[in-house]
Structures are given as structure tokens and as C-alpha cells.
């Protein structure tokens, strides 16, 4: 009596689709576990009977596709090609049918008939998907068996389908993914060239397709077994059609879409989630921007109503007290040492400390918005504005921080991956009106403009942002040749914030900021203090003052004398220095009322407006410049930014003065 | 489909998963797979994939949206300069 024929059945599928369950259902205890030859990847085989036929079931490694992306994929496809199983069972997860079908698209061109086992039909139904297996079968042209393996449903039907296909009793006309006509010609050319070189048992058309896809393993194999002159021709064709991979893979995705459209009914469109509902507003081109503007308004309100008074308290009780103590301790020390410690070191470090309340509010607000999932939407809607500059929404994050302080804005630019976009973000970040600039404006605007101060303040912010936008466009066009950028963003679901997480973030970030910016400010503040102290120990005779007098002709174009120019220049140490310098130079000793009176007399409305415009657009403080240098690692770009802002601020100041003067101001 | 997606990306701009799914008529799951495929082919890159090393020490490390739950993809040089489809 002749021995019964044994057929080989390969079980293919993605990880976690229930392959082990189906394998156990079919083979029971009759299993053997080992490793794939030469690999440490587990190989499971077993046997089962199928209408009197002995079947050897081989569990292929779980794979998402059959490209040479992983050893598992290579094992799976090589087994099908070299061992030629009598049938391949493709086990799919019905609940994620679209994703599962990609593997089928790659299995169908291989030299083994495929039976689809559509597992987890119950899960798909629970998720509102209605799949019609017979329609899918007709569309695919191969048998499709619905299953719920965990309930042992469909196993018998699967075995019958295997039996029928092996004995040629089933319809089997697989509908394969298509590629473009021009690539079909290319494919034919490659196939013709390699036909005599393809080693057995690899199918020629499959090898040609894999070459066109740029499959590394097949390319290496064919390179080794193809004569040099032939390979050169193949290589030239492949090089000329490097992008064919897009067409080949795209053909598979189109094929998947056709299959799913034919056989799957999705959940009703009326079932909109909370996130969808909120996103209709939050990501709307108009409402999204208005919501963002509103949120920004709240952040500003919090900053000025909570942060600013705290900043003042710190200035008085921490910096002021430390300066007083140092003055007492160093009363017998040389004046330059006292100046260095009190004005340079304590003044420099104090600047950082006084910024802290504002930073806390910003970090807390950002942490909150981030934690509930809003920041991704903010970046998304800001894209339209940022894209004008060649930046993308992500640049908004660091620039947003710039409203608090330009230093974290520049440091935050690290989140922008593209070197060019990062540099551009850093270049324009100082144009975001920081809190310190706003302090100067907040103090001077009412003195200069009385009731119109609020209007002027918002106008100045608008001017800064407009200049930021125009400058960004110019830099992008000139330096970056208008390179386009595209981004795809996954917008996370909204959720309830975790206050502990937000608190922890605020703590960590403030600590890190103090550590980093504090050291930078300390060093740079001492250097700049020295420039404003020597050679005579008085700012009026210092190198900075001399430089200011050199610029007096420029100041005259804005109606400014050298004192005003120096006041602007000393803002390089810290923006608030403008106020202190004005106080010293106008003999007011920092008393606000006296200073207010003095500057009101000294400044005409046109000069005052020009002064504020220059203040808003001027070179940022040393800490920001140091941060720019640190982040760009380029002295050239740092100097470029400084010179650019210097020219820009004075240029705009002159323009405003002349225009206001012309209008009768 | 990939052609359509790449053409759309080549025009620039920011696209959300939801927008692309609507346009391509695919689920978010399949879109994720397509994006992963394009990443493998060298056309796209996950933003923030190297955040651990790239952003180490940055005080904004944990405050930014990059690498957080919302995944962001960007074009590679290959996509920006070398696409000849």
C-alpha cells in the first residue's frame, strides 16, 4: 500500500493575530518546536489530518510584509519560495483588516496558493465594522474563511478550504496589485535581462519586482549571480527608476483600499468623539486661530497680573537685599570690585531670578496645554502663519516661549529638527517681545502717551510680530531659497490634565533653566558690565558711552541725544537697564516720578515712539545673544543677528520718527 | 495612493492624520503603516525620534510636543530634493 501523501501548509500572519491559537487548534498536541535553520527564531511545526490527507503545518514568523526588513520576513518568504508549501494560510485580524491585507498583497504573487483565514470577526463586529467574507472572497479571487479562533469557530471550514484548494476544487483567481503601465515596461525589461540568471526556485517576475522595489537581499543575490555587463544594464534601469518603489508599494495600498471598500462597512459617520467635536473648533482655520489668540491673551493676563508683581518683589527683596548686603560688605573694597559684584554679578544673576515667576507661569501654562493635548492643535493652526516664514507650527512652541524670555525661546528651538528651520527660528526669536521689553514699554508708554498707552503697546507688539513675519519671509527666500517643508501631525486625544505631572515639569524646567541661563548670564553680564564701567568707572565715560556718542548722528535722525542712545545700548545687559540708565542720566536716581517728569520733558512724542520702537526691535540681551551663540555654535550667525537687529531697530526708529514728524508729531 | 500623498506633501504645509485619512480614504491604522513604509523607503522621518540624545539637557526637553503622544513626521532630503516621480 502506497504511503499517504503529506501536504505542507504554511501559516502566515502578522504578530498578534491569533496564529498560535489557530496553530494549536489545528495541530492539538502534535507539535514540534525548534529553530529556523541558522537562526535563533523559533520554528513551530505540527501535523493534522485533512479528509484523510496528512498535513504538515509550519508556523511562519509573524510579519507585516515580505520585504527584507527583518530576518522574520526573509525566513517567511524564503520558506514559501524554496519549500513551495501546497497552500499558505494567511491569518488576518478582521478588526484591522486594512493593515493585515498588506501581507496578503505580497503573498499572492508568490508561487503558492493562498487561503485567507479572517480571524477575530467578533472583535470587528464589536467595533462596528461589518465585513462580508464572500464579497471579500470575490474581490480577492481567493477563498476567505471567517473565524473566531478563540471560540473555535471556522476551524473546520478552514480545513475544508485547504483541502479543496490543494485538490484543485476551489476557485482560485487571485487579483494582484497593479503598477503603472510605464513601470510594467520597466519590469518586463528587467525580467528579460535577468531571466537566464535567476537561481532556482525563485520566480523571475517576482525577482524582477523585488529588484524594482530595491529589495536589499534580492539585489545582493542577483548582483552575485548576474554577469557584470548584464548587471550594469539592470543597475542603470533601476537607478533611472529609483522611485518605482513608490508605485509598487502604492499599488498595494490602492489594492487594499479597493478590497476594503468592496467588503467592509464602517461605523456610522454620526459617531463623533469628544476629540472630533473639540477639534472642529480648535483646528478650524479661523476659530482655531481665535481660540489660540484667546488662550494667549489669558497667558499674557496671568503673566502681567501674577508674574510681574512677583518679579517686582523678587527684585526688591532678593536682588535688592543681596546688593545692599554686598555693598555693606564691600564698603572698603575698590569701587570696581564693588561695581563688579553689585552691578555685574548680583545684577546679572538677579536678572535670572526675577524672570523666574514669569517662567513658572509660562511653563505651567504650557505644561497644562500640553498635558490636555492642546499644544499639538496650537502648533497645527499656527502653521499658516509660520509657513509664510518657511517655519512650521513646531517653531511656534519656542517662539511662544519668547513672550516670557527670549533665552528659553532660543534654547527651545532645539525641538526643530531641520537645521535651517532651527536657525531661522533662532534668528527671529529675539523679535518676539519678551517680558522685559514689555516692562520697559509698560513703564514708558503711559508717561509718553497717557490714555493712548494701551493702544501704543499693542501696536508695538503687532509691529514686532509683523517685522518678525517679514524678516522670516526674507530670510527664508534669500538664505534658504524658499525651501518648502511639510509635516504630518498626529493630534493626540484630549484628556484630563495630571497636575502632579505639570508641577513636576515646571520644577524640572525652572531648575534646568536657572542652571543653564544663570551661568551664561553670570559670565556675559560681568563682561558687559566691565564695558559699561571702564575706563573711568562711570557709564557716561565708559566705552559704551563713547560708542553711544559715536552713534549720536544716528540718534539725531530720531530726535535722540546720546543719553537716549546709551539708554538703549545698556539694554543689551538687560532690557530694564534702559529705565535705570535713563534715571541716572536724567538725574532722577531711579525714582519713577522724577524720571517720568524728566523724560516727559526730554522726549517729544515722535522721539518717544521711535525710542519704544527701537527698544522693541533692538538687539536682545546678552543672555539671549549668548544662548544664540551656544545654540548655533556659529559666531557668524550670532553676529549676523546682532547686526541685523541693530540696523533694523534703528532703521525702523528713524522711519517712525520721520513719519510721525511729517504727520505733525 | 502613495503618489497622491507624496504630491500633497511636496506642496508643503502641515497635515493632520484626520485630514490625510479623509483624503486618502484610509483608516488611521493604515495611514500609520503607509507613513512607516515611507519612512523605511527614506521619504519621511519621525520628528523627535532622536530626542533622547538630541534634546538631552535642554530645559524644554519635556515641555515640547515633539516625541510626545502626537507623532510628527517630516520630509527627508530625499523627498525634498530627489523626488523625480
- The grid coordinates listed for B9 are 506633501
> CATH topology of A7-166 equal to that of A181-265?
no
Percent residues over pLDDT 90 in chain A: 24
Give the gap in angstroms from C-alpha B61 to the nearest C-alpha of chain A: 8
**Which pLDDT value is given to residue A105?**
94
**Count of CB contacts below 8 A, A vs B?**
182
- Residue A348: pLDDT over 70: no
Torsion over CA of A592, A598, A602 and A607, rounded to 10 degrees? 10
Yes or no, beta carbons of A394 and B47 under 8 Å apart: yes
**What's the rounded Cα separation, in Å, for the pair A602 and A594?**
12
**Which pLDDT value is given to residue A593?**
43
Chain B partners of A245 at a C-beta cutoff of 8 Å?
41
Averaging pLDDT over each range in A45-54, A310-319, A410-419, which range is the top one? A45-54
Distance of CA A611 to the CA centre of its chain: 38
**Which pLDDT value is given to residue A107?**
94
Chain A partners of B63 at a C-beta cutoff of 8 Å?
363, 366-367, 370, 412, 505, 509
Nearest CB to B84; choose among A67, A243, A513: A243
Yes or no, beta carbons of B9 and A489 under 8 Å apart: no
Yes or no, beta carbons of B14 and A257 under 8 Å apart: no
Is residue A50 classed as helix, strand or coil in its secondary structure?
Answer: strand
From residue A360, how far is each of A316, A356, A405, A502, A641 by CA, in Å? 19, 6, 12, 11, 28
* B21 reaches A (C-beta below 8 A): no
From residue A605, how far is each of A149, A279, A442, A618 by CA, in Å? 83, 46, 16, 19
Give the gap in angstroms from C-alpha B15 to the nearest C-alpha of chain A: 5
* B46 reaches A (C-beta below 8 A): no
pLDDT higher at A209 or A466: A209
Nearest CB to A96; choose among B11, B29, B54: B29
Yes or no, beta carbons of B44 and A254 under 8 Å apart: no
- Average pLDDT over chain A reads 80
- Residue A269: pLDDT over 50: no
Yes or no, beta carbons of B63 and A411 under 8 Å apart: no
* Closest chain B residue to the Cα of A178, Cα to Cα: B1
Tens digit of each residue's pLDDT (9 = 90 or more) over A558-582: 888 777 887 888 788 777 677 766 7
**What's the rounded Cα separation, in Å, for the pair A568 and B15?**
43
**What's the rounded Cα separation, in Å, for the pair B81 and B85?**
12
- Region of poorest pLDDT, from A176-180, A277-281, A420-424, A484-488: A484-488
Q: In which residue ranges of chain B is pLDDT below 50? A: 63-67, 69, 81-85
Yes or no, beta carbons of B73 and A488 under 8 Å apart: yes
Give the gap in angstroms from C-alpha A509 to the nearest C-alpha of chain B: 5
Averaging pLDDT over each range in A217-221, A302-306, A451-455, A501-505, which range is the top one? A217-221
From residue B28, how far is each of A80, A541, B20 by CA, in Å? 31, 67, 9
Question: Would the ipTM clear 0.85, i.e. be above it?
Answer: no
Chain A partners of B26 at a C-beta cutoff of 8 Å?
98, 253, 257
Give the gap in angstroms from C-alpha A391 to the nearest C-alpha of chain B: 10
Q: What is the pTM of this model?
A: 0.64
Chain B partners of A397 at a C-beta cutoff of 8 Å?
60, 64-65
**What's the rounded Cα separation, in Å, for the pair A600 and A449?**
10
Tens digit of each residue's pLDDT (9 = 90 or more) over A582-614: 765 664 343 444 456 677 777 888 999 999 999
**What's the rounded Cα separation, in Å, for the pair B61 and A511?**
13
Residue A216: which pLDDT band, with cuts at 50, 70 and 90? confident
Chain A partners of B39 at a C-beta cutoff of 8 Å?
none
Q: What is the CATH number of domain A7-166?
A: 3.40.50.300
Give the gap in angstroms from C-alpha B42 to the nearest C-alpha of chain A: 11
Class at the top of the CATH hierarchy for domain A181-265: mainly alpha
- The grid coordinates listed for A16 are 498578534
Mean pLDDT over A163-187 rounds to 88
Tens digit of each residue's pLDDT (9 = 90 or more) over A507-542: 876 776 676 556 655 665 566 567 667 777 776 677
* B77 reaches A (C-beta below 8 A): no
- The grid coordinates listed for A330 are 564691600
**Which pLDDT value is given to residue A404?**
62
Yes or no, beta carbons of B40 and A250 under 8 Å apart: no
**What's the rounded Cα separation, in Å, for the pair A427 and A395?**
12
Torsion over CA of A303, A305, A308 and A314, rounded to 10 degrees? -110
Tens digit of each residue's pLDDT (9 = 90 or more) over A145-167: 999 998 999 999 999 999 999 88
Sheet holding B13-16, edge to edge: B13-16, A486-489, B72-75, B44-47
**Which pLDDT value is given to residue A392?**
58
From residue A550, how far is each of A402, A555, A646, B30 by CA, in Å? 31, 10, 14, 66
* Closest chain A residue to the Cα of B35, Cα to Cα: A488
Give the gap in angstroms from C-alpha B78 to the nearest C-alpha of chain A: 10
Q: Where are the domains of chain A?
A: 7-166, 181-265, 287-452+481-514, 534-664
Yes or no, beta carbons of B60 and A486 under 8 Å apart: no
pLDDT higher at A12 or A475: A12
- Residue A240: pLDDT over 90: no
Chain B partners of A64 at a C-beta cutoff of 8 Å?
33
Chain A partners of B71 at a C-beta cutoff of 8 Å?
489-490
Yes or no, beta carbons of B37 and A249 under 8 Å apart: yes
Query: Are the C-beta atoms of residues A433 and A296 closer than 8 Å to each other?
Result: no
* B84 reaches A (C-beta below 8 A): yes
* Closest chain B residue to the Cα of A510, Cα to Cα: B59
Give the gap in angstroms from C-alpha B39 to the nearest C-alpha of chain A: 12
- Residue A276: pLDDT over 80: no
Q: Write the DSSP assignment of A515-570 as a string of letters.
A: HHHHHHHHHHHHHHHHHHHTTTTSGGGSHHHHHHHHTHHHHHTTT--HHHHHHHHH
Yes or no, beta carbons of A383 and B37 under 8 Å apart: no
Yes or no, beta carbons of A99 and B80 under 8 Å apart: no
Give the gap in angstroms from C-alpha B24 to the nearest C-alpha of chain A: 9
Phi/psi of residue A7, nearest 5 degrees? -105, 155
Instruction: Select the residue from A260, A484, A487 to test the B interface by mutation, using most B Cβ atoms within 10 A.
Output: A487
Tens digit of each residue's pLDDT (9 = 90 or more) over A23-53: 988 988 777 877 777 666 778 899 988 878 8
Chain A partners of B1 at a C-beta cutoff of 8 Å?
250, 253-254, 257
- Residue A139: pLDDT over 80: yes
Residue A355: which pLDDT band, with cuts at 50, 70 and 90? low
- Residue A87: pLDDT over 80: yes
Mean pLDDT over A650-662 rounds to 90
Chain B partners of A489 at a C-beta cutoff of 8 Å?
14-17, 70-73
* Closest chain A residue to the Cα of B25, Cα to Cα: A257
Yes or no, beta carbons of A257 and B1 under 8 Å apart: yes
Chain B partners of A414 at a C-beta cutoff of 8 Å?
54-55, 58, 60
Amino acid at each position: 500500500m502506497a504511503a499517504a501523501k503529506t501536504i505542507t501548509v504554511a501559516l502566515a500572519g502578522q504578530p498578534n493575530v491569533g496564529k498560535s491559537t489557530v496553530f494549536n487548534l489545528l495541530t492539538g498536541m502534535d507539535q514540534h518546536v525548534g529553530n529556523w535553520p541558522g537562526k535563533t527564531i523559533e520554528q513551530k511545526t505540527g501535523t493534522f489530518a485533512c479528509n484523510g490527507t496528512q498535513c504538515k503545518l509550519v508556523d511562519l514568523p509573524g510579519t507585516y510584509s515580505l520585504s527584507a526588513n527583518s530576518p522574520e520576513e526573509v525566513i517567511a518568504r524564503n520558506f514559501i519560495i524554496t519549500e513551495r508549501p501546497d497552500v499558505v494560510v494567511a491569518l488576518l485580524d478582521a478588526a484591522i483588516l486594512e493593515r493585515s491585507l498588506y501581507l496578503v498583497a505580497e503573498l499572492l504573487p508568490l508561487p503558492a496558493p493562498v487561503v485567507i483565514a479572517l480571524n477575530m470577526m467578533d472583535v470587528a463586529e464589536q467595533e462596528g465594522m461589518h465585513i462580508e467574507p464572500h464579497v471579500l472572497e470575490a474581490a480577492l479571487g481567493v477563498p476567505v474563511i471567517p473565524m473566531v479562533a478563540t471560540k473555535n469557530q471556522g476551524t473546520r471550514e478552514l480545513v475544508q478550504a485547504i483541502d479543496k484548494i490543494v485538490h484543485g476544487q476551489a476557485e482560485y483567481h487571485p487579483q494582484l496589485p497593479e503598477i503603472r503601465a510605464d513601470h510594467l515596461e520597466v519590469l518586463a525589461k528587467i525580467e528579460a535581462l535577468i531571466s537566464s540568471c535567476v537561481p532556482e526556485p525563485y520566480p523571475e517576475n517576482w525577482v524582477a519586482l523585488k529588484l524594482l522595489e530595491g529589495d536589499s537581499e534580492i539585489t545582493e543575490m542577483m548582483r552575485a549571480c548576474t554577469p557584470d555587463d548584464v548587471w550594469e544594464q539592470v543597475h542603470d534601469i533601476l537607478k533611472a527608476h529609483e522611485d518605482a518603489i513608490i508605485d509598487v508599494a502604492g499599488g498595494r495600498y490602492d489594492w487594499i483600499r479597493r478590497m476594503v471598500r468592496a467588503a467592509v462597512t464602517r461605523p456610522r459617520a454620526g459617531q463623533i468623539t469628544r476629540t472630533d467635536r473639540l477639534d472642529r473648533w480648535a483646528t478650524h482655520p479661523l476659530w482655531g486661530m481665535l481660540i489660540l489668540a484667546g488662550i494667549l491673551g489669558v497667558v499674557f493676563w496671568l503673566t502681567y497680573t501674577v508674574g510681574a508683581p512677583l518679579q517686582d518683589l523678587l527684585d526688591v527683596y532678593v536682588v535688592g537685599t543681596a546688593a545692599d548686603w554686598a555693598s555693606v560688605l564691600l564698603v572698603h573694597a575698590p569701587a570696581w570690585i564693588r561695581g563688579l559684584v553689585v552691578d555685574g554679578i548680583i545684577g546679572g544673576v538677579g536678572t535670572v531670578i526675577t524672570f523666574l515667576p514669569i517662567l513658572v507661569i509660562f511653563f505651567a501654562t504650557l505644561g497644562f496645554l500640553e498635558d490636555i493635548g492642546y499644544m499639538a492643535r496650537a502648533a497645527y493652526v499656527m502653521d499658516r502663519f509660520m509657513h509664510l516664514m518657511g517655519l512650521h507650527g513646531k517653531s511656534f512652541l519656542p517662539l511662544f516661549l519668547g513672550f516670557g524670555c527670549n533665552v528659553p525661546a532660543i534654547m527651545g528651538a532645539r525641538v526643530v529638527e531641520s537645521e535651517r528651520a532651527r536657525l531661522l527660528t533662532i534668528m527671529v526669536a529675539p523679535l518676539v517681545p519678551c517680558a522685559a521689553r514689555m516692562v520697559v514699554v509698560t513703564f514708558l508708554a503711559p508717561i509718553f502717551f497717557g490714555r493712548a498707552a494701551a493702544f501704543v503697546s499693542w501696536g508695538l507688539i503687532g509691529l514686532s510680530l509683523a517685522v518678525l513675519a517679514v524678516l522670516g519671509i526674507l530670510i527664508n527666500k534669500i538664505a534658504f531659497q524658499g525651501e518648502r517643508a511639510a509635516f504630518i501631525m498626529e493630534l493626540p486625544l484630549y484628556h484630563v490634565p495630571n497636575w502632579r505631572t505639570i508641577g513636576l515639569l515646571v520644577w524640572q524646567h525652572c531648575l534646568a533653566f536657572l542652571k543653564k541661563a544663570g551661568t551664561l548670564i553670570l559670565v556675559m553680564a560681568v563682561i558687559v558690565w566691565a564695558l559699561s564701567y571702564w575706563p573711568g568707572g562711570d557709564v557716561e565715560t565708559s566705552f559704551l558711552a563713547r560708542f553711544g556718542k559715536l552713534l549720536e548722528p544716528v540718534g539725531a535722525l530720531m530726535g535722540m541725544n546720546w543719553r537716549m542712545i546709551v539708554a538703549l545700548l545698556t539694554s543689551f545687559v538687560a532690557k530694564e537697564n534702559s529705565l535705570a540708565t535713563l534715571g541716572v542720566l536724567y538725574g532722577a536716581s531711579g525714582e519713577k516720578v522724577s524720571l517720568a517728569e524728566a523724560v516727559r520733558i526730554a522726549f517729544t512724542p515722535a522721539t518717544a515712539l521711535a525710542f519704544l520702537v527701537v527698544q522693541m526691535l533692538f538687539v536682545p540681551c546678552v543672555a539671549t545673544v549668548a544662548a544664540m551663540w551656544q545654540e548655533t555654535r556659529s559666531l557668524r550667525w550670532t553676529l549676523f543677528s546682532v547686526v541685523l537687529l541693530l540696523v533694523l531697530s534703528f532703521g525702523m526708529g528713524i522711519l517712525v520718527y520721520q513719519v510721525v514728524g511729517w504727520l505733525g508729531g | 495612493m502613495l503618489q497622491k500623498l507624496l504630491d500633497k506633501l511636496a506642496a508643503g504645509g502641515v497635515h493632520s492624520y484626520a485630514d490625510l485619512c479623509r483624503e486618502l480614504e484610509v483608516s488611521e491604522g493604515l495611514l500609520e503603516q503607509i507613513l512607516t513604509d515611507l519612512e523605511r523607503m527614506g521619504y519621511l522621518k519621525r520628528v523627535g525620534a532622536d530626542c533622547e540624545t538630541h534634546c538631552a539637557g535642554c530645559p524644554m526637553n519635556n515641555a515640547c510636543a515633539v516625541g510626545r503622544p502626537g507623532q510628527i513626521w517630516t520630509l527627508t532630503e530625499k523627498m525634498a530634493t530627489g523626488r523625480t516621480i
